[in-house]
Structure 1
Amino acid sequence: MKILETKRLILSTWTRKDAADLYEYARNPNVGPHAGWKPHSDVRESRRIIKTIFRPHNVWAIRDRENGRAIGSIGFDTDKYRPNINSRELGYSLSEAYWGKGIMTEAALEVIRYGFETMKLDMICICTGPENKRSQSVIRKCGFTYEGMLRKAYRIYDGTLRDVLCHSLMKEEYYGN
């Protein structure tokens, strides 16, 4: 997995040693439930997430350049709504201590650049819940176009069905054509 760098961040592979950092922010009930996952219950759970989800799916750890700590995650997943198109779905999470500082927008712009310029994607999509205003702000700042809402399209960790707001960014829009 390629290491990506920005002014304030290093995006790199998750390691087993990052489990404590992941647990530190993923246990917060203000973080996971916005994305539909439950707060982590202990470091073992965070270690399992790194091993079974982050590493196999090439999810980057978002690291604070100053101290090297993992403060969030970002990565691409299969675009389940466009299976026959060269498209990926962007997903991310960030420690509440770093909210409101432009960190996620900075990380997302770098991953979007990588997606179009290196992976040669035709489209990147992102879906979020109507209540997740912070994510919607990042999505707007990154230039995505709102496509619409899918009603009751996402089942979260507690079994509740949620609506999702769908957005996309096409390579022509990214390159300004």
Structure 2
Amino acid sequence: MELQTPRLLLRPWEESDAEALYELAKDPDVGPAAGWNVHKDVEESREIIRTILSAPGTFAILGRRDGQLRGSCGFFPTRAQGAEAGELEIGYWVGKPFWGRGIAPEAVEALLAHCFTELGAERVWCAYFDGNEKSRRCQEKCGFLFHHTERDVHWAVTDEIKTEHYSVLTRAEWLARQKPED
């Protein structure tokens, strides 16, 4: 399955993306803010594509015109406290060369449309770690409303204790934000 926006193509990850992934994931400003370790080499990036990024609902974010990798996004069952069974969560990251260009909100909007219209979700959650203001702003731009904070969360991927802030968007709120078609 692929999703498209005016500027982006969201498609399943391929092993051939490993070199491009490594170029973005080796930057220490990218992974740790999103909750994962800096990649050490192309082979590690290839293994992460095989074992993590190949999960259903996970997409490489590419430019539609140039095919260049910009980041990753996906949806999965939420782990948020207070969520009901079957509710989804969205996660995303964008490589530093593409920060400040509206890539994350555009990708998140495509995921939201899919989650609400194709998957029938009633609520979609999104979280960010303390200090990740770019992610907080992305969520606000996409209509998410702050719900709660979870402190002292053991994040196994990096073996750290983190504070995670959760936001949520309902189907009704999302529908109200959609522009009527002319």
The bucket for the TM-score relative to the shorter chain is over 0.9
Contact 1:154–1:163 (8 Å) recurs in 2: no
The corresponding residue for 1:129 is: 129
Once the two structures are superposed, what CA deviation does each residue of 1:27-71 show, in whole Å capped at 9, x if it has no partner?
Answer: 100000001211000111111111111112331110011211221
1:155 aligns with 2:143: no
The corresponding residue for 1:80 is: 79
One-letter amino acid of the structure 2 residue matched with residue 122 of structure 1:
E
Contact 1:36–1:156 (8 Å) recurs in 2: no
Indicate how the Cα distance of structure 1 residues 58 and 24 shifts in structure 2: closer, same or farther if over 3 A, else same.
same
Question: So what's the TM-score if we normalise by structure 1?
Answer: 0.94
The corresponding residue for 2:92 is: 92
Once the two structures are superposed, what CA deviation does each residue of 1:83-142 show, in whole Å capped at 9, x if it has no partner?
Answer: 643311110111100000111111111111111011111111011112000000100000
* Count of aligned pairs between the two proteins: 176
Give the SS at the match of 1:176: helix
**What 5-or-longer segments of structure 2 have no aligned partner?**
178-182
The corresponding residue for 1:39 is: 38
Give the SS at the match of 1:67: coil
Distance 1:34 1:104 in 2: 14
TM-fit CA distance, 1:13 = 1.1
Distance 1:128 1:165 in 2: 5
Contact 2:77–2:86 (8 Å) recurs in 1: no
1:24-35 equivalent positions in 2, closer than 5 A: 24-35=23-34
User: Larger deviation: 31-40 or 64-73?
Assistant: 64-73
> What percent identity do the matched residue pairs reach?
32
Contact 1:128–1:166 (8 Å) recurs in 2: yes
CA RMSD of aligned residues (A): 1.6
1:22 aligns with 2:26: no
Question: So what's the TM-score if we normalise by structure 2?
Answer: 0.91
